């Protein structure tokens, strides 16, 4: 193995000098097999995915739908219910609306996430409709789709936000795509989704709590039920990672550490307002969320600690030297981030977003 390994790292010109027959018979299969470990692991787990779908996702007939929480437009009481929503919405402040709008837009960019996941190695939508992984991605997308749907309709009825500006931002975000640093690697993608699902659980849950404190029961219910979905998704993705960890601990630990070195960026990190440049609105929104306490640097650290604990990074043994270094890095990272976060400062200056008119309430 070590004899051939340097060739896997060789430059193109060097490979050209290797006799063709030697390349075809000896080197190519070896390089392929190193590259395909992930594919093999994904294929080995694939028969279990049907079980994950049954355990962690809920069929359309049994799960909540947006209309369960919104005024029924076929009912005579529709206008009264809308009036109630509009009245209650007046109690909510500026940072709250900005955060809710950005959370909604993040959910609405689902086409980006589905197309990204469908392209991940091992999630093969073309290899028969019954491939477990692609079935998972479709079923997960179908659940997620309800989040943007219910929040968008709520925002529209609330009368507190500029829907056209929101719609333009959503169109920009989908069109701009994202780059979450995972490439097509299933290991890195599952670390990312595990992390993100818990982050969205936290933020929807807190928004729901704030809505309830301001007497906005309907919005509180919506956000809480969305948070419940995100938690189920989180539990599923962390299970995928745990299962992979059992098959390829070296590869999984390295992928986890690599993602944490790059930092887990938010899926809406390219957020922009109409006429703005990519990512400009994201920083302003993050300040709002941090100020409001909806999603903070401390949450990021706490999520990392939970992942380290669930995947039992502390007690993993028998790793390669490189993976062992990655393991030690992961164990030390929460304390390191804690020290950094204590020095972090966030602006209290409120940016005025085109999505929400200034109303003087934080």
Distance CA 125, CA 134 (A): 5
Minimum Å gap between C-beta 196 and Fe ion is 8
Tell me the per-residue interface mask from 180 to 219 with Fe ion, x by CB under 5 A, - otherwise.
-----------------x----------------------
Q: Which of 88, 95, 103, 107 is catalytic?
A: 107
Minimum Å gap between C-beta 106 and Fe ion is 8
Q: Does 149 help bind Fe ion (rule: CB under 5 A)?
A: no
Query: Which one of residues 230, 248, 273, 299 is an interface residue with Fe ion (CB under 5 A)?
Result: 230
Nearer to Fe ion, 206 or 233 (CB): 233
Q: Which of 97, 233, 250, 296 is catalytic?
A: 233
First-to-final CA distance of the chain: 62
Minimum Å gap between C-beta 197 and Fe ion is 5
Map residue 277 onto helix, strand or coil: coil
Minimum Å gap between C-beta 233 and Fe ion is 4
Q: Which residue has the tokens 């966030």?
A: 346
> Which stretch in 87-95, 145-153, 184-192, 214-222 sits in contact with Fe ion by CB under 5 A?
145-153
Number of residues located near Fe ion, criterion CB under 5 A:
6
Query: Which one of residues 147, 172, 188, 327 is an interface residue with Fe ion (CB under 5 A)?
Result: 147
Distance CA 111, CA 107 (A): 10
Nearer to Fe ion, 38 or 206 (CB): 206
Q: Could you tell me if 215 and 255 are in contact, meaning their C-beta atoms sit under 8 angstroms apart?
A: no
Residues contacting residue 303 through CB under 8 Å, at least 6 positions apart = 195, 198, 199, 202
Does the active-site annotation cover 91?
no
Does the active-site annotation cover 64?
yes
Minimum Å gap between C-beta 234 and Fe ion is 7
Nearer to Fe ion, 139 or 333 (CB): 139
Nearer to Fe ion, 147 or 327 (CB): 147
Tell me the per-residue interface mask from 89 to 108 with Fe ion, x by CB under 5 A, - otherwise.
------------------x-
Distance CA 111, CA 174 (A): 7
Does the active-site annotation cover 143?
no
Distance CA 174, CA 177 (A): 5
* Burial label, 306 (beta-carbon count in 10 A; 0-12, 13-18, 19+): middle
Q: Which of 46, 103, 108, 144 is catalytic?
A: 144
Q: Could you tell me if 266 and 282 are in contact, meaning their C-beta atoms sit under 8 angstroms apart?
A: yes
Does the active-site annotation cover 107?
yes
Query: Which one of residues 144, 149, 185, 248 is an interface residue with Fe ion (CB under 5 A)?
Result: 144
Torsion sign (Cα): 252, 253, 258, 264: positive
Query: Which one of residues 233, 238, 272, 327 is an interface residue with Fe ion (CB under 5 A)?
Result: 233
What does the DSSP assignment read for 292-358? HTSS-HHHHHHHHHHHHHHTTGGG--S--HHHHHHHHHHHHHHHHHHHHHHH-----PPPPPSSB--
Does the active-site annotation cover 200?
yes
Does the active-site annotation cover 349?
no
Nearer to Fe ion, 150 or 281 (CB): 150
Work out the number of other CB atoms within 10 angstroms of the CB of residue 14: 11
Distance CA 320, CA 337 (A): 26
Alpha helices in the chain (DSSP H): 5-8, 12-16, 20-22, 28-35, 37-56, 78-89, 94-108, 110-118, 132-158, 163-176, 186-213, 217-247, 249-262, 280-292, 297-310, 321-343
> Which stretch in 8-16, 233-241, 267-275, 286-294 sits in contact with Fe ion by CB under 5 A?
233-241
Nearer to Fe ion, 99 or 251 (CB): 99
Does the active-site annotation cover 324?
no
Active site residues: 64, 107, 144, 147, 197, 200, 229-230, 233
Residues lying near Fe ion in the complex (CB under 5 A): 107, 144, 147, 197, 230, 233
């Amino acid at each position: 193995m070590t004899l051939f390994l340097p060739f896997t790292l060789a430059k193109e010109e060097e490979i050209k000098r290797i006799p063709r027959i030697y390349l075809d018979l000896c080197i190519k299969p070896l390089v392929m097999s190193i590259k395909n470990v992930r594919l093999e692991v994904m294929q080995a787990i694939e028969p279990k995915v049907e079980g994950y779908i049954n355990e962690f996702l809920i069929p359309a007939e049994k799960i909540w739908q947006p209309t369960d929480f919104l005024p029924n437009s076929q009912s005579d009481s529709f206008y009264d219910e809308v009036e109630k929503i509009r009245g209650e919405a007046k109690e909510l402040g500026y940072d709250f609306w900005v955060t809710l709008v950005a959370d909604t837009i993040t959910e609405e960019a689902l086409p980006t996430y589905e197309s990204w996941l469908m392209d991940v190695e091992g999630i093969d939508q073309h290899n028969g409709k019954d491939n477990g992984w692609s079935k998972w991605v479709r079923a997960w997308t179908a659940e997620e789709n309800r989040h943007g749907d219910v929040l968008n309709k709520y925002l529209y009825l609330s009368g507190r936000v500029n829907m056209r500006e929101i719609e333009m931002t959503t169109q920009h975000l989908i069109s701009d795509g994202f780059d979450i640093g995972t490439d097509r690697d299933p290991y890195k993608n599952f670390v990312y989704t595990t992390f993100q699902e818990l982050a969205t659980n936290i933020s929807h849950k807190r928004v729901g709590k704030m809505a309830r404190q301001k007497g906005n029961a309907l919005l509180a219910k919506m956000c809480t039920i969305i948070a419940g979905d995100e938690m189920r998704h989180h539990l599923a993705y962390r299970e995928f990672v745990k299962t992979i960890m059992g098959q390829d601990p070296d590869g999984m630990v390295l992928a986890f550490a690599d993602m944490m070195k790059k930092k887990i960026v938010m899926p809406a990190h390219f957020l922009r307002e109409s006429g703005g440049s990519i990512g400009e609105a994201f920083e302003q929104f993050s300040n709002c969320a941090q100020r409001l306490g909806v999603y903070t640097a401390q949450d990021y650290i706490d999520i990392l600690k939970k992942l380290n604990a669930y995947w039992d990074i502390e007690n993993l043994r028998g790793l390669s030297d490189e993976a062992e270094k990655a393991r030690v890095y992961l164990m030390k990272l929460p304390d390191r981030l804690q020290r950094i976060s204590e020095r972090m400062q966030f602006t209290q200056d409120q940016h005025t977003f085109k999505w929400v008119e200034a109303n003087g309430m934080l």
